């Protein structure tokens, strides 16, 4: 509930826009557990009808747009955007006795919490929700709508707000914050070594910092958790078939609960890990995966980009350009590798446009040259291949038609495409150009050099460092409010203000979005005999 002096047009716009985001923000991996949760998250009353809210005695919101979570967020801990503050409505903030300052109020500090207000009772809270009158008989902020809820629905909603009063988050003790990183069996061992080097050094640095060294930690009440809690990293290595990973992860989590999963490394299949994190409600922050999971119903998993799936969209958009008419496409990929999912997405997209697609899946021992026989019949060739296969293209005649190459799979600027292929080749490039990202990654590489961390995979290690930095910055703003949902929400809010964004020109996450970088380039080689790439398109957001 809001007081007028902190309300602005942003809040109303946010609430109205929420109707378009219901399926992504209000929905989640599991169906609502009770009517109160359905009202709070989805705007659905106990009888299945849409909740209605009025503003200035006129119907303003209905159903999705009327869900409490749209403004007060899934955690119930509110939000802050510029000068606009939406206060927490978890029960511990509504029913606790008032205090003259946050230091006297024995609940975790939250921006926007009302410390001096008289506590609500269930009757006055129901009045606030229905009539817009606060616990002291004063009007709430003018943007706060009034909700038409039956007595049964009101009791259910208030009971649900009480469940948001979590005393101790999993993975948090008086002295330690526990985090995990997850590595699948088919993860690249070189990337694994590089990622773990960064994680372990970052955690060591964090724990070695002098107590109170960060200026923001000088308030004994607001920030003391950061002073005396160290970070502990648990490496969860998975083994065997993917259908056994869930059981392995459940064992790890039972053995040592964690507050969140940070970074991580996957191979061809990350879906079981993604599904586990959603089911167990564990934030999974920016894993290094080429084929992330796309789902409109998930909340806890965040990715820097769509990986090869984004590359497929970039290539599809380029192929469909009227200036370059294409009637048929040949795709080559290794069966079971990340390129298979991208090839399937691209084929589906192009076939809808009436473009014929010939997919050629290579077995483990098959050579690339054989798959490219008769490639000249196609108007475009798309290669979802790793560096060894790209290097082997020198044995095959280069086609005279356009060639598109996966930048992520091929190694970006270091893709070993033979010189004879480069004139017609274009790379899907879902990161910033080398000259654009240089300043943003130099700090990370300098940090690696000081700590003698070998750079074995620049993008994976830079992304891992960026994920750690985002976690540290977010926790410093969360103060001692250790709630997993709140961690996700705070990253949503803070990400767009981040200056050092590594390989990506910009990172943003709105409610319901799980991919922070939305676009990419199509690039070409500046000269056929060199590897320098330049943009062959504007920044494309499919």
Report the pLDDT averaged over residues 80-100.
79
| DSSP helix/strand/coil, 253 | helix
pLDDT, tens digit (0-9, with 9 covering 90-100), for 179-207? 999 999 999 999 999 999 999 999 999 99
Domain boundaries, the chain: 4-163, 176-304+436-483, 309-429+521-535
pLDDT tier at 13, thresholds 50, 70, 90:
very low
Percent of the chain topping pLDDT 90: 69
Whether residue 180 contacts residue 262, with contact meaning beta carbons closer than 8 Å, is answered with: yes
C-alpha dist (Å) from residue 216 to 213, 476, 505: 9, 7, 27
pLDDT tier at 216, thresholds 50, 70, 90:
very low
Lowest-confidence region among 154-168, 260-274, 295-309: 154-168
pLDDT score for 215: 43
Whether residue 533 contacts residue 526, with contact meaning beta carbons closer than 8 Å, is answered with: yes
Report the pLDDT averaged over residues 418-435.
94
**Strands of 52-55's sheet, edge to edge?**
58-62, 52-55, 146-147
Percent of the chain topping pLDDT 70: 88
Query: DSSP string of 120-178?
Result: P-HHHHHHHHHH-B-TTS-B--TT--EE---HHHHHHHHHHHHHT--SS-TTB-SSEEE
Greatest Cα pair distance in the chain: 82
pLDDT at residue 266 above 80? yes
pLDDT score for 418: 92
Lowest-confidence region among 30-34, 147-151, 188-192: 30-34
Strands 521-525, 533-535: pairing is antiparallel
How far is it, in rounded angstroms, from Cα 454 to Cα 111?
41
pLDDT tier at 165, thresholds 50, 70, 90:
confident
pLDDT tier at 214, thresholds 50, 70, 90:
very low
pLDDT score for 97: 72
pLDDT, tens digit (0-9, with 9 covering 90-100), for 481-512? 899 999 999 999 889 889 999 999 999 998 78
How far is it, in rounded angstroms, from Cα 526 to Cα 533?
5
Report the pLDDT averaged over residues 429-450.
96
How far is it, in rounded angstroms, from Cα 36 to Cα 488?
22
pLDDT at residue 210 above 80? no
pLDDT score for 33: 58
- Are both 176-304+436-483 and 309-429+521-535 of the same fold? yes
pLDDT score for 99: 56
pLDDT score for 281: 96
pLDDT at residue 333 above 70? yes
pLDDT at residue 21 above 60? no
Lowest-confidence region among 31-45, 250-264, 320-334, 353-367: 31-45
Q: Which distant-in-sequence residues (6+ apart) come within 8 Å of 116 by Cβ?
A: 98, 99, 100
Question: What is the CATH number assigned to the segment(s) 176-304+436-483?
Answer: 3.40.50.2300
CATH topology of domain 309-429+521-535: Rossmann fold (3.40.50)
Report the pLDDT averaged over residues 259-273.
97
Rounded to the nearest integer, the mean pLDDT of the chain is 87
pLDDT at residue 309 above 60? yes
Whether residue 263 contacts residue 199, with contact meaning beta carbons closer than 8 Å, is answered with: yes
pLDDT tier at 232, thresholds 50, 70, 90:
very high
| DSSP helix/strand/coil, 534 | strand
Higher pLDDT, 90 or 115: 90
Report the pLDDT averaged over residues 303-310.
98
pLDDT at residue 213 above 50? no
CA nearest to 517, candidates 525, 527, 507: 507
pLDDT score for 397: 77
pLDDT at residue 405 above 70? yes
Report the pLDDT averaged over residues 157-176.
89
pLDDT score for 167: 66
How far is it, in rounded angstroms, from Cα 68 to Cα 74?
8
Report the pLDDT averaged over residues 451-455.
98
């Amino acid at each position: 509930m809001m007081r007028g002096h902190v309300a602005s047009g942003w809040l109303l716009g946010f609430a109205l826009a929420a109707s378009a985001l219901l399926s992504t923000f209000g929905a989640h991996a599991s169906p609502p557990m009770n009517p109160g949760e359905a009202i709070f998250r989805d705007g659905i009353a106990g009888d299945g009808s849409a909740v209605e809210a009025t503003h200035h005695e006129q119907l303003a919101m209905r159903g999705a747009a009327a869900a409490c979570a749209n403004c007060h967020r899934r955690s119930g801990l509110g939000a802050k955007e510029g000068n606009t503050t939406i206060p927490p409505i978890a029960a511990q903030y509504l029913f606790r006795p008032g205090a003259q300052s946050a230091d006297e109020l024995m609940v975790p500090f939250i921006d926007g919490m009302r410390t001096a207000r008289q506590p609500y009772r269930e009757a006055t809270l129901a009045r606030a929700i229905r009539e817009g009158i606060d616990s002291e008989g004063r009007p709430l902020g003018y943007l706060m709508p009034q909700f038409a809820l039956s007595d049964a629905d009101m009791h259910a909603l208030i009971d649900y707000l009480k469940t948001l009063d979590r005393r101790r988050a999993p993975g948090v003790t008086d002295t330690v914050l526990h985090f995990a990183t997850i590595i699948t069996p088919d993860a690249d061992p070189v990337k694994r070594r590089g990622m773990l080097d960064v994680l372990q050094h970052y955690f060591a640095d964090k724990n070695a910092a002098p107590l109170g060294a960060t200026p923001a930690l000088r308030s004994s009440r607001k920030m003391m958790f950061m002073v005396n809690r160290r970070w502990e990293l648990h490496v969860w290595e998975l083994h065997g078939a993917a259908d056994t990973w869930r059981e392995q992860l459940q064992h790890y989590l039972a053995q040592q609960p964690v507050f969140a999963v940070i970074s991580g490394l996957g191979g061809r299949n990350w879906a079981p890990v993604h599904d586990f994190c959603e089911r167990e409600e564990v934030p999974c922050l920016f894993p290094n995966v080429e084929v992330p999971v796309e789902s409109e119903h998930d909340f806890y998993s965040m990715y820097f980009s769509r990986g090869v799936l984004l590359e497929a969209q970039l290539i599809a958009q380029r192929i469909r350009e009227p200036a370059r008419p294409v009637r048929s496409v040949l795709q080559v990929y290794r069966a079971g590798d990340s390129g298979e999912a991208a090839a399937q997405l691209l084929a589906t997209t192009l076939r809808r446009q009436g473009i014929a697609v010939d997919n050629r899946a290579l077995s483990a021992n098959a050579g690339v040259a054989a798959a490219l026989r008769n490639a000249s019949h196609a108007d475009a060739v798309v290669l979802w291949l790793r560096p060894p296969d790209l290097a082997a293209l020198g044995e095959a005649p280069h086609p005279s038609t356009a060639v598109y190459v996966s930048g992520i799979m091929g190694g970006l600027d270091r893709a070993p495409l033979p010189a004879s292929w480069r004139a017609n080749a274009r790379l899907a490039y879902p990161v910033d150009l080398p000259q654009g990202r240089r300043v943003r990654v130099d700090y990370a590489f300098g940090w690696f050099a000081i700590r003698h961390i070998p750079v074995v995979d620049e993008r994976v290690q830079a992304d891992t460092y960026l994920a750690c930095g985002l976690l540290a910055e977010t926790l410093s703003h969360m103060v001692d409010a250790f709630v997993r949902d709140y961690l996700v929400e705070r990253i949503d809010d803070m990400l767009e203000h981040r200056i050092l964004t590594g390989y990506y020109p910009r990172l943003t996450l709105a409610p319901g979005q799980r991919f922070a970088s939305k676009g990419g380039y199509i690039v070409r080689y500046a000269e056929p005999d060199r590897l320098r790439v330049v943009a062959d398109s504007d920044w494309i957001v499919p």
